[in-house]
């Protein structure tokens, strides 16, 4: 169910802009790009699966692998506490909000999970989301999680941490903390109305306030959840094959794997030139595979993967033609897009990127914080950059094929 959002007043607009500026400053910070499923412990004694729906610090800014992020820290802590094999699957991103969380969740929850942990709200607190909007959106998310989990599987809702608010948005820190506590009080009420659902206050992370996020922060975050989540998953462990990442297109798989190996310098160089040429805040080469858009190369804060419905790139792929949107707020295809709003993107331009067989599989796209006239982007130049990306992808796929052949020989 969707709910009309409350009107955005001057204070909320200011908070949204402050959040966007903070988010952009994190563009150079490392983040996890590997597989979002982490297993720890001994699978011979059975495996319990936990779905972690999280944003903010739950995503893992400051570390390069989900093993060092809350995903892996929680898996390790649960395995140590229960003596079982524990597998935690992460769904979300730092830029996910309560409004967009059900879309991130789509197709990810299923009856193989024994428990779900929902740790969101940082973005909503920092953008001063009204309590009634939060209540409706959190309710929608919990209903979506419950619908796909086994009957009676517990859901743990974690309070909103404020570890970074004071350091990143100093003048508004007191206001943001008050909003976080207000949203927490609403969360308690929403949780209280739902069976097998429990609210856990935010872990005390004050010793880490102001420090660069690292594995120690995430270990402290996971440690505070281990007892309640461990209690929820003990009993009935089964042998479960490790979850595998699936792709519908071999080229997309190859490029995503190369991204994780740091082997996309050619694409990064093309993007840097495109970003400078057009004067935009972010640029990216994306791959569209099923219901996901992969940001395989980017200059900015784009997450590694995002639901395809929250980006403009599938439109470019489907049409195999460039797309320019002068003002996303005024385009009915994007006006209510919570992800683009959270990214504070108002202008979009994209040109198709192709696999070696000539099929459109992605886009070279530009995002900017303010609307701009379409004629400020020369489409011939944009397509020339995209064609350079095509050539880089062809070379990459050929090199990987040669390497695999050499290993088999």
CB 86 within 8 A of CB 47: yes
For the ranges 56-60, 93-97, 208-212, the lowest mean pLDDT is seen at: 208-212
The reported pLDDT for the residue numbered 163 is 55
Residues 6+ apart with CB under 8 A from 306: 93, 95, 104, 292, 293, 295, 339
Stretch 250-272: mean pLDDT: 91
Nearest to 148 by CA among 105, 97, 119: 105
CATH 3.30.450.40: which residues of the chain? Answer: 250-408
* Residue 177 and residue 25 in contact, taking contact as beta carbons nearer than 8 Å: no
Superfamily of the domain at 10-233 = SGNH hydrolase (3.40.50.1110)
Helix spans in 30-90 (H): 70-82
For residue 182, give both structure tokens: 């207000």
Q: Which of 361, 278, 347 is nearest to 316 (CA)?
A: 361
Q: In this predicted structure, what is the pLDDT of residue 67?
A: 94
Q: Residue 175: its pLDDT value, please? A: 78
- Domain(s) labelled CATH 3.40.50.1110 in the chain stretch across 10-233
pLDDT at 311 over 80: yes
Per-residue model confidence as pLDDT tens digits over 12-30:
665 555 566 565 566 667 8
Q: What pLDDT does residue 402 have?
A: 78
Mean pLDDT in residue range 86-103: 91
**For position 242, what pLDDT does the model report?**
76
In the predicted structure, residue 167 carries a pLDDT above the cut 70: no
Over residues 130-154, mean pLDDT: 94
Q: Residue 125: is its pLDDT beyond 60?
A: yes
What integer pLDDT is reported at residue 178 of this predicted model?
87
Is the torsion defined by CA of 164, 167, 168, 169 positive or negative?
Answer: positive
Q: Give pLDDT tens digits for 32-81.
A: 989 999 999 987 778 899 999 999 888 888 899 999 999 999 999 999 99
Residue 255: per-residue pLDDT: 93
- 129, pLDDT greater than 60: yes
pLDDT band at 169 (very low <50, low <70, confident <90, very high): very low
Of 225, 137, 133, 118, which is closest to residue 179 (Cα–Cα)? Answer: 133
> Is the confidence at residue 165, as pLDDT, over 50?
no
Class of domain 250-408: alpha beta
Confidence at residue 5, expressed as pLDDT on a 0 to 100 scale: 56
Residue 197: alpha-carbon gap to chain centroid: 24
Q: Please compute Rg for the chain using Cα positions.
A: 21
């Amino acid at each position: 169910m969707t709910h009309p959002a409350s009107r955005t007043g001057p204070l909320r607009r200011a908070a949204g802009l402050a959040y966007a500026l903070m988010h952009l400053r994190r563009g150079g910070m490392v983040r996890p790009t590997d597989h979002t499923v982490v297993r720890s412990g001994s699978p011979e004694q059975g495996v319990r699966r936990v779905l972690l729906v999280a944003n903010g610090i739950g995503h893992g800014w400051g570390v390069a692998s989900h093993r060092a992020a809350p995903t892996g820290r929680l898996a390790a802590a649960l395995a140590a506490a229960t003596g079982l094999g524990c597998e935690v699957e992460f769904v979300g991103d730092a830029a996910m909000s309560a409004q967009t969380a059900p879309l991130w969740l789509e197709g990810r929850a299923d009856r193989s999970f024994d428990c779900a942990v929902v740790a969101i709200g940082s973005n909503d607190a920092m953008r001063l989301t009204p309590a009634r909007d939060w209540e409706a959106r959190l309710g929608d998310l919990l209903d979506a999680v419950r619908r796909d989990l086994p009957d009676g599987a517990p859901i743990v809702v974690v309070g909103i941490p404020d570890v970074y608010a004071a350091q990143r948005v100093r003048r508004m820190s007191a206001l943001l903390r008050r909003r976080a506590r207000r949203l927490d009080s609403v969360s308690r009420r929403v949780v209280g109305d739902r069976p097998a659902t429990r609210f856990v206050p935010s872990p005390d992370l004050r010793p880490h306030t102001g420090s660069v996020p690292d594995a120690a922060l995430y270990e402290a975050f996971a440690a505070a959840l281990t007892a309640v989540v461990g209690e929820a998953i003990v009993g009935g462990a089964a042998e479960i094959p490790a979850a595998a990442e699936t792709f519908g297109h071999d080229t997309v798989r190859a490029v995503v794997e190369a991204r994780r190996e740091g082997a996309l310098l050619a694409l990064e160089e093309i993007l840097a030139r495109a970003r400078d040429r057009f004067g935009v805040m972010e640029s990216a080469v994306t791959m569209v595979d099923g219901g996901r858009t992969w940001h395989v190369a980017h200059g900015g804060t784009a997450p590694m993967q995002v639901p395809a419905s929250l980006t403009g790139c599938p439109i470019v792929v489907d049409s195999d033609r460039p797309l320019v949107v002068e003002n996303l707020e005024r385009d009915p295809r994007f006006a209510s897009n919570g992800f683009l709003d959270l990214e504070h993107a108002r202008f979009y331009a994209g040109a198709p990127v192709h696999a070696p067989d000539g099929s459109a599989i992605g886009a070279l796209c530009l995002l900017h914080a303010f609307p701009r006239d379409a004629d400020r982007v020369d489409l011939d130049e944009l397509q020339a950059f995209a064609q350079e990306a095509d050539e880089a992808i062809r070379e990459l796929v050929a090199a990987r094929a040669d390497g695999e052949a050499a290993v088999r020989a």
